Amino acid sequence: MKVVAFNGSARKDGNTAVLLRQVLKVLESEGFEVELIQLAGEQIRGCTACRACFKNKDQKCIIENDNVNNYIQKMAEADGIILGSPTYFAMMSPELKALIDRAGYVARAQPDLLKHKVGAAVVAVRRAGGIPTFDAINNFFLINQMIVPGSSYWNIGIGNKKGEVEADEEGIKTMKDLGRNMAWLIKKLKR
Ligand SMILES: Cc1cc2nc3c(=O)[nH]c(=O)nc-3n(C[C@H](O)[C@H](O)[C@H](O)COP(=O)(O)O)c2cc1C
């Protein structure tokens, strides 16, 4: 059983990474193989709307000069996908949005690519705008017929400077509960 997590932050090993690692740690202790991919520093452009993915139906984006096809492959092979982002002007980061748009269109081109996988959004926020970010990420899972488990709160951690989110006790607890709920759900689905 595999879970892959993407950190859409432009800042490597920041608050989003702290939150994602909390979820992954629980999943690992439940016997899952986990991977954290950080998009910081990568040049990922958005979808060009060329629709080649609909024509070719090869599970690939036609843009080949970045890691997106590798990431789509990782999503296709995983039982669970976690998409993490900081809040930037009340929305996800452009890096994560570019990945969602391109992976999402490829997945729409062959509608069962992500069907019945488990998805979770994880968001870091300084003050406000976390909920629209959380909702927007969840829309990616829902339109792909994925299943989204809840936690003991919405999956948001509060912090600004690198690592500050560690002091958000409820946020950290929410991530641990999310990890447990993801593990529970994936195990049920695999039975
Ligand atoms: C360009 C930019 C826009 C931001 N917009 C918001 C915002 O709308 N609301 C908010 O509460 N924090 C905002 N922040 C703060 C980040 O969401 C916050 O510092 C978060 O913890 C960063 O996560 P990271 O360490 O994973 O990058 C913004 C930060 C940046 C760089």
Q: What DSSP string runs through 80-121?
A: EEEEEEE-BTTB--HHHHHHHHHHHHHHHHSTTSSTT-EEEE
With a 6 Å cutoff on the Cβ, whether 34 touches ligand 1 is no
Distance between CA 184 and CA 24 in Å, rounded?
Answer: 14
Per residue in 144-180, pLDDT (tens digit) is: 999 999 999 999 999 999 999 999 999 999 999 999 9
Please check whether residue 85 is in contact with residue 38, taking contact to mean a CB–CB distance below 8 angstroms.
no
Q: How far apart are CA 164 and CA 18, in angstroms?
A: 9
What does the radius of gyration of the chain's CA atoms come to, in whole angstroms? 16
160 Cβ below 6 A of ligand 1 = yes
Closest-CA residue, ligand 1 atom 23, reads 86
Residue pLDDT, tens place only, 99-116: 999 999 999 998 899 999
- CB of residue 84 inside a 6 A radius of ligand 1: no
pLDDT for the residue numbered 28: 98
Instruction: Please tell me the predicted confidence (pLDDT) of residue 111.
Output: 83
Sequence-ordered strand ranges (E) for the chain: 2-7, 33-38, 80-86, 118-125, 156-158
Q: Are 93 and 160 contacting, i.e. CB atoms less than 8 angstroms apart?
A: no
Q: Is 171 in the pocket of ligand 1 (CB under 6 A)?
A: no
CA–CA separation, 107 and 27 (whole Å): 25
Cβ of 15 below 6 Å from ligand 1: yes
Q: Is 9 in the pocket of ligand 1 (CB under 6 A)?
A: yes
Across the beta sheet with 118-125, the strand order is: 33-38, 2-7, 80-86, 118-125, 156-158
Cα–Cα separations (whole angstroms), residue 44 to 8, 19, 38, 166: 11, 23, 12, 29
Sign of CA dihedral 191, 81, 4, 173: negative
Phi, psi of 117, rounded to the nearest 5 degrees? -80, 160
Structure-token match 């951690």, residue found? 157
> For residue 97, what pLDDT is reported?
98
Substitution candidate for ligand 1 out of 126, 131, 137 with most atoms within 8 A of CB: 126
Q: Is the CB of 133 under 6 A from ligand 1?
A: no
Stretches where the chain sits below pLDDT 50 are none
Distance 143 CA to ligand 1 centre (A): 26
